[in-house]
Amino acid sequence: MPEWPIGTALKAVAGSNVSRGFESRPLCVTRYRIDRAHLMVAAGVSFFIAAACVLVAFWLPKNSQLTEAISIIAASVAGIVLLLAAVLNLRPPTVLTLDPAGYTTRGKGDNGTWKDVEDVAVADGMLRFTDTAGNVTGLELNLVDRKQRAELIRDVYDRLNTANGYRRFDPTA
């Protein structure tokens, strides 16, 4: 027997109009990670540092305890730097976290609630949140993956509209 997708099975049991009024994208915690281009630069720098450490580790003569210790330290640093590059590329750091209550940016650690956001602007490659106190939190959009930039802006406006009664913000304006 073929396996049916969940939505099809649900429609068969509950009727064909089961998906009406169902939010296609729930507003849960969403993390936007740094763009791969920035990670590739970090990986390249890591490889250069590791290569220099390996050269130091293997080219130093092993005739004294000091040079042997330096070689061990240099080899350890090379291993740590390569491990760090691998971890960064396998799990890129989060640039912006959106949740039902608010947002948190990485770096400065700025955060705010959706109810306190007075205005959102996208200009000059920056996403700027202005709160009721007049404080501005900015995020460079080039840090976010190119494929996710439009989704990020739409997600921010969806969350603001949800927090403010579905009528306050329009991303097309």
Look up residue 23 and give its two tokens: 């939010």
The answer to the question of residue 83 being in a domain is yes
Tell me how far apart the alpha carbons of residues 5 and 8 are, in angstroms, rounded to a whole number.
5
Q: Are residues 102 and 159 in the same domain?
A: yes
- Residue in this structure with the two tokens 């281009």, named with its chain if needed: 37
User: Looking at 90, 106, 132, which one is the last position of a domain?
Assistant: 90
Note the pTM of the prediction, 2 decimals.
Answer: 0.66
Judgement on whether residues 102 and 138 belong to the same structural domain of the protein: yes
In degrees, to the nearest 5, what angle opens at C-alpha 11 toward C-alphas 10 and 17?
A: 130
Q: What percentage of the chain carries pLDDT values higher than 90?
A: 21
Among 65, 90, 115, which residue terminates a domain? 90
Domain co-membership, 98 together with 155 = yes
What is the average pLDDT value for the chain, to the nearest integer? 80
Measured CA to CA, the distance from residue 163 to residue 101 in angstroms comes to: 8
CA 46 to chain centre: 21
Q: What tens digit of pLDDT does each residue of 116-164 get?
A: 888 888 888 888 888 888 888 888 888 888 888 888 888 888 888 887 7
Question: What domain range includes position 73?
Answer: 36-90
Give the Å distances, CA to CA, from 102 to 8, 32, 93. Answer: 34, 14, 19
